[in-house]
Structure 1
């Protein structure tokens, strides 16, 4: 493996955000959702790549920065398509697997410094991913293939343990 491939591989680590547990005391933070087993992947069909960007968990990924967010897709004409894919890892009888995978669209037009995303959709897809749902049918075929290739290559054992639904939807 070349050093370029090696350094690229190191950048694509799934990072686990450790939740700030309240240990059942019922105080501040009780009833919060744990994002401990979730990662965010950016799928960039424009550049034919997919990569982990944990900053997307806080709406601060590279593709989300330095633009004004607009709720109307029509106002971002000519914007480039990206997907933030919320991936949740869980364990079954065979070991860890990709349990929940949900893609959320964003459109970014750097020329006018405007971008579109539906916050409601992103929140809904994060929640669905945490609950083990696969929501990728609305993604274009090229983006789904990029995502499938990334997940398969990143951790083949997780891919092998995943549901038939996931492997079928991501080719």
Structure 2
């Protein structure tokens, strides 16, 4: 510690590093934060009773339908549940503008009265990863659910819908 005019020198302030979600890969680690991904381009859509709405609380299992629910990996523990979906939706910017670049649907069952629910966390994580990797996995949705999701995407941003690949439009036809 050096002193100038009777005052101790201030300690050097270190710059704080932010940490994002790390994804394991086969690439060599190249320092702090290497392999991190940005989830800011992913939104969560809930489909419940044929209605789709954006609820980014689902990213942390705190969507409107999930709050106050104790989840179990045993489907039989939620015999009176209703089927709901989280659709991980990734947006990317291309030459023509932004578009819906990835979308994957994850099933869950919710019994609001009993405050019980069923979902497979590993499935949710894997499907979030697939959406981030710009894949579409929507085949499990029924016709009403696909229509609700398609309607939401178009109403949210029709330009993004128009810029989206035919693969997404066909998956929701």
TM more than 0.5: yes
Give deviations 1:63-100, integer Å, cap 9, x for gaps: 11111111011221120111111000012221110000
Write the distance in 2 (CA, Å) between the matches of 1:126 and 1:149: 21
Structure 1 residues without counterparts, runs of 5 or longer = 1-18
TM-score when scaled to structure 1? 0.81
Match of 1:104 among 88, 106, 127: 106
Deviation at 1:139, TM superposition (A): 1.2
* Residue 168 (str. 1) matches residue 170 (str. 2): yes
The answer to whether structure 1 residue 127 and structure 2 residue 132 are counterparts is no
Q: CA deviation at 1:141?
A: 1.4
1:26 to 10, 27, 31: 31
Richer in strand (by share): 2
Larger Rg: 2
Name the CA distance, whole Å, in 2 between partners of 1:112 and 1:25: 48
State the alpha-carbon separation in 1 of the partners of residues 77 and 134 from structure 2.
33
CA deviation profile, 1:141-162 (whole Å, cap 9, x unmatched): 1111100010011100000010
Secondary structure of 1:63's partner?
A: coil
In the alignment, structure 2 segments of 5+ residues that lack a partner are 1-17, 21-28
Instruction: Measure how far apart 1:111 and its partner are.
Output: 2.4
Match of 1:113 in 2: 115
Deviation, 1:25, is 7.5
